[in-house]
């Protein structure tokens, strides 16, 4: 019987940390921090972990990887792009712990055959499919709308953990891009997470006639596209009236935090989740920032599509508030598994649980071991 334990990630926007026990292995899927500053998974009772899978290099999926020694220094599996991006977020793993997965196709995780595919959400972002015990699919964050990042449809799986970040929202990115362009005034900064959104935004805004300025990270992510766009490394290089797309690493001293402190009083537009207590929330409260939607997560129609193509019997909605998804809960009622415990049934021997699973609680912790 496969057992899923959500140490964090259910019931709202919270760091990802799901333990899947399948085929005799205990695999932790993601180990994030935030998006609320300082919000970390409570791993009490997690016990031994055989492997960690990192879906993509965003803070809320990898930010607590510094807890790796506490978990017994297990092997970590992710795409090469994800591993390479960890230092941008101030995170480090010893090379011998890192096992690179391809972006798509067959692979091995420990000794288990698995499938991976591109998630359309971030560069290097992948979903993970384990065919054992009726099939389990962890989508991480995903999107079918990026103009830059491909999405590979996943195979069938009895248990599917999906990304409910937008609840019932069904508006298309194709509608949001012109609305964002209309909202932009000279002297605006658009902070974006690393690994895709900034480059996609630069391409779409340029197609709408704007000429944004980009930071070096977004310039690299454009991979040679839009070579005429200026790039700025410091606030002093920016000109009055610039529209700046800047990667926000949420680290002190990065370009976004320096632009916030810059005396010229830049305006900001945030296009993602704004966490309480964050710098973004402070800027909005101070009247210096506003919000516009920009899809990097699935719409309601995408959730329905995922349920259909996977044939899921248990669909676990992660990273989103259930109050924002009443229509999806209704449409997917036979397979919707948002609750604390989904006991196994005869037709589907999969068990989902949230936090402090009693079996996990009886496991002993591995001794801490050396490493960063």
Binding site for Zn ion (CB under 5 A): 58, 141
- Smallest gap from Cβ 16 to Zn ion, in A, equals 9
CA distance 8 to 236: 41
Residue nearest to Zn ion (CB): 58
- Smallest gap from Cβ 121 to Zn ion, in A, equals 6
Nearer to Zn ion, 141 or 248 (CB): 141
- Smallest gap from Cβ 56 to Zn ion, in A, equals 6
Q: The sheet that has 105-109: what strands, in order across it?
A: 105-109, 112-118, 126-130, 136-138, 159-163, 314-318
What one-character DSSP code corresponds to residue 148?
Answer: S
- Smallest gap from Cβ 150 to Zn ion, in A, equals 16
Using alpha carbons, select from 26, 59, 57, 55 the residue that is nearest to residue 41. 59
- Smallest gap from Cβ 246 to Zn ion, in A, equals 17
- Smallest gap from Cβ 163 to Zn ion, in A, equals 8
Nearer to Zn ion, 256 or 350 (CB): 256
Nearer to Zn ion, 21 or 30 (CB): 30
Nearer to Zn ion, 26 or 273 (CB): 273
CA distance 22 to 2: 5
Nearer to Zn ion, 15 or 47 (CB): 15
Nearer to Zn ion, 58 or 129 (CB): 58
Asked if residues 64 and 41 have their Cβ atoms less than 8 Å apart, the reply is yes
H/E element holding 172?
none
Nearer to Zn ion, 33 or 141 (CB): 141
Length of the chain: 372
Query: Which DSSP string corresponds to 262-322?
Result: -TT--EEEE-S---TTSHHHHHHHTTSEEE-----S--HHHHHHHHHHHT-SEEEEESS-G
- Smallest gap from Cβ 133 to Zn ion, in A, equals 27
Record the tokens describing residue 12, joined without a space.
């709202």
Q: Check whether the bond before 303 is cis (ω within 30° of 0).
A: no
């Amino acid at each position: 019987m496969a057992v899923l334990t959500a140490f964090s990630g259910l019931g709202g926007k919270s760091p990802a940390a799901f333990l899947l026990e399948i085929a005799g292995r205990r695999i932790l899927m993601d180990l994030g921090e935030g998006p609320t500053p300082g919000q970390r998974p409570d791993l009490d009772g997690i016990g031994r972990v055989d492997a960690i899978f990192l879906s993509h290099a965003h803070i809320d999926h990898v930010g607590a990887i510094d807890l790796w020694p506490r978990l017994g220094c297990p092997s970590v599996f992710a795409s090469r792009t994800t591993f390479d991006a960890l230092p941008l977020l101030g995170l480090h793993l010893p090379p011998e712990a890192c096992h690179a997965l391809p972006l798509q196709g067959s692979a091995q995780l420990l000794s288990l055959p698995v499938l991976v595919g591109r998630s359309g959400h971030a560069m290097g972002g992948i979903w993970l499919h384990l065919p054992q015990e009726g099939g389990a699919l962890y989508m991480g964050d995903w999107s079918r709308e990026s103009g830059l990042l491909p999405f590979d449809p996943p195979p069938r799986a009895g248990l599917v953990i999906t990304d409910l970040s937008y609840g019932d929202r069904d508006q298309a990115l194709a509608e949001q891009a012109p609305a964002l362009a209309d909202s932009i005034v000279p002297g605006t900064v658009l902070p974006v997470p690393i690994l895709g959104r900034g480059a996609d935004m630069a391409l779409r805004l340029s197609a709408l006639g704007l000429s944004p300025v980009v930071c070096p990270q977004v310039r690299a992510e454009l991979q040679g596209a839009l070579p005429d766009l200026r790039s700025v490394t410091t606030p002093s290089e920016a000109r009055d009236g610039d529209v700046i797309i800047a990667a926000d690493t949420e680290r002190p001293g990065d370009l976004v935090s320096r632009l916030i402190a810059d005396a010229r009083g830049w305006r900001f537009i945030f296009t993602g989740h704004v966490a309480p207590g964050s710098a973004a929330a402070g800027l909005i409260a101070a009247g210096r920032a506003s919000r516009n939607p920009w899809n990097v997560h699935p719409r309601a129609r995408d959730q329905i599509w995922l349920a259909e193509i996977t044939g899921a019997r248990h669909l676990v909605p992660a990273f989103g508030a259930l109050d924002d998804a009443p229509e999806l809960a209704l449409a997917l009622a036979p397979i919707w598994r948002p609750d604390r415990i989904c006991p196994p049934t005869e037709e589907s021997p999969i068990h989902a649980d949230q936090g402090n699973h009693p079996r996990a609680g009886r496991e002993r912790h591995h001794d801490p071991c050396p490493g960063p």
